[in-house]
Structure 1
C-alpha cells in the first residue's frame, strides 16, 4: 500500500533565517510572491500540505494565511518571533506559543494543533518544551531532527512517528504523553543522511532525495519533509551577506521548484495532521 508522506513549509521571512537575521539590513519581504509560487505548484499537483506559520507573519498577513487555509492546507505554529527554543525559558516559550496560537486563530478562525520549533530546537536541552506544548493543548510536534548537525538535531532519536514520553522524549516507548512526534526524514540505518528538505534538498541530487523517501516508505514509514516558501523565489538572493552564509542560504534556489515538482510526481503527500490522525487511529492516510 502506498505510504502518504508529510509535506510541510515553514513560513517566516527569508531574513529571519538564523544565518541571515544578523547580516541583512533593509530587506524586502517577498513573502506573498514566495507563497504564491508554492500554492500554484501544490494546486497543479492537487496536494495539500502543512504550513507552520510564525505568529508575527500571521498578524501582519492574516489574509495570506487565510488564503492558504482556504486552499485546503493545514496551518500550524512555528512560534511567534522565530526565536529558537535555545534562546527562551519555559515561561517565555509559553507566552510565545500563546501569542502565535492566537494570531493563527484570528487569521483563520481555528486554532492550530501542530507545532514546529524554529531551528528544530526541541533537543535534550529544551525537552521542557514538550510539557508546554501538552499544556497548551497541541496534538503533535514536528521538531525532532533525528541526526546531529552543527546547528541542531538529536542523535539516536526515532525516525518513525511516535508518542512523546515527557520522561524519555527521544525514545520509542510506551509512556503517558499526549503528543505525537513527526521526526524529520533521514534514511539509512547506520549513517543517517538528512533528506528532509531545506538546505539538504537544495544540495542533494533529486535521485538521492527520492531514494531516501523510497527507503522509508518501503519500511512503511512516512517521510516528513520541509521547505520554506522563500526557497522557491530567487528574488530573495542578496550579495550583501558573507559568502558562506550566502552559499548555505541560497544555494540551489533556482532549481528547487523543479526538484519538488519531481517529488510530487513520484510520491504521495498530505498534511501532518492527516498522518498523525490516521497513525493514532490505526488507519491509512
Structure 2
C-alpha cells in the first residue's frame, strides 16, 4: 500500500521565530515573495500542501492567504499572534483560537479544521489545549514533536497518527477523543532523529531526510514534514542577531529549494486533512 506523506508550511513572519522575535529591529517581512517561491515549487510538482497560517497574517494579507487556498492548498490555524501555548492560559488560547479562526474564515471563506501550535508547544505542561481545540470544533492537531529537543518535544509520544485522548494525549488509546494527532516526522521508531523539516531539513543532508521518510513509509507510516516559506528566501537573512541565532535560523537556506524539490520528486505528499481522513477511514 502506498503511503501519502504530509507536506505543511507554517506561515508567519520570519522575525516571529522564537530566537529572533526579541532581536530583530528591521522587520522587512518578505512574506509575499517567500510564499510565491513556495507556491511555484508546489505547482511545478503538482503537490497540494497545508499552510498553517497565523491569524494576524490572515488579517493583514487576506489576498495572499486567499491565493494559497485558490491554488488548492489547505489552510489551517497557527494561532493568532504566534505566541506559544506556554505563554497563554486556556482562556487566552481559546480567545486566540477564535480570532485566528475568524481571520482565516474572512480571508478564504471556509473554517480551518487543523491546528499547529507555535513552537510545537503542545506538551504535558499545555495538554489542556486539546480540550480547547475540541470545543472549537477542530478535526486534527499537528503540534506534537515526538522527541525531546532543547526547545520543545515530548519524549515517548507516538510517531504515527493517533486519536488524542485529553486525559492521556501522548499515548495511543482506543477512542476517548475527537481530535486526530499528526506528530512530526522522526527517523525510525527506535532512533528518534528529527527529520520533519525546518532547521533539521536545512541541517541534515538530503540522503538522510530521504532515508527517514522511506523508513517511516516502509512501516506504513506517513511522514509529517513542516517548513516555513521564509526558509526558502535568502533575502530574510540578517547580521543583526547573534551567531547562534543566525546558525539556527538561516543555516542551509540557500539549498532548501533543491532539497524540497528532491523530496517531492521521490515521495508522495498531500495535505494534512487528506491524511487524517484516510487514517480515519482505515480505523473504520
TM superposition score normalised by structure 2: 0.99
Deviation at 1:188, TM superposition (A): 2.3
After the TM superposition, which residues 54-65 of structure 1 pair with which residues of structure 2 at under 5 Å, given as runs? 54-65=54-65
- Deviation by residue 1:165-218 (Cα, 9 ceiling, x = unmatched): 111100001132000000000022322100000000000000000000000000
Alignment of 1:129-278 (within 5 A): 129-278=129-278
Residues 119-168 of structure 1 show CA distances to partners (whole Å, capped at 9, x for unaligned) of: 00000000000000000000000000000000000000000000001111
Q: Which runs of 5+ in 2 are unaligned?
A: none
Structure 1: segments with no counterpart, 5+ residues: none
Shift of 1:2: 1.7
Matches within 5 A, 1:19-98: 19-98=19-98
> What secondary structure does 1:282 align onto?
helix
The DSSP-based 3-state class of the residue aligned with 2:75 is strand
Structure 1 residue 27 displacement after superposition? 1.3
**For the residues of structure 2 that align with 1:271 and 1:208, how far apart are their CA atoms?**
23
SS of the residue corresponding to residue 226 of structure 2 reads: strand
Cα distance between partner residues in 2 of 1:273 and 1:176: 20
Greater shift, 168-177 or 127-136, is seen at 168-177
**Counterpart Cα distance in 2 of 1:53 and 1:146:** 22
Which residue matches 1:101? 101
Query: So what's the TM-score if we normalise by structure 1?
Result: 0.98
1:218-259 Cα deviation digits (max 9, x unpaired): 010000000000000000000010110011000000000000
Cα RMSD for the two superposed structures = 0.7
What does the per-residue CA deviation read over 1:82-101, in whole Å, with 9 as the maximum and x for residues that have no partner?
00000000000000000000
Structure 1 Cα separation of the partners of residues 195 and 282 of structure 2: 26
Aligned residue for 1:263, secondary structure, equals helix
The separation in 1 between residues aligned to 2:188 and 2:66, in whole angstroms, is 39
**Contact preservation (8 Å) 2:196, 2:224:** yes
Runs of 4+ in 1 over 4 A off after TM superposition: none
CA distance in 1, matches of 2:102, 2:189: 40
Q: Structure 1 residue 20: deviation in Å?
A: 0.2
Inter-partner Cα distance in structure 2 for 1:90 and 1:202 = 34
SS at match of 2:22: coil
Between the aligned partners of 1:162 and 1:246, the Cα distance in structure 2 is: 36
Distance in 1 between residues matched to 2:82 and 2:201, nearest whole Å: 21
Check whether the contact 2:159–2:189 (CA below 8 A) recurs between aligned residues: no
Q: 1:281 offset after TM fit, Å?
A: 1.4
Aligned length: 283
Quote the offset at 1:26 in angstroms. 2.4
Q: Deviations over 1:68-87 (max 9, x none)?
A: 00000000000000000000
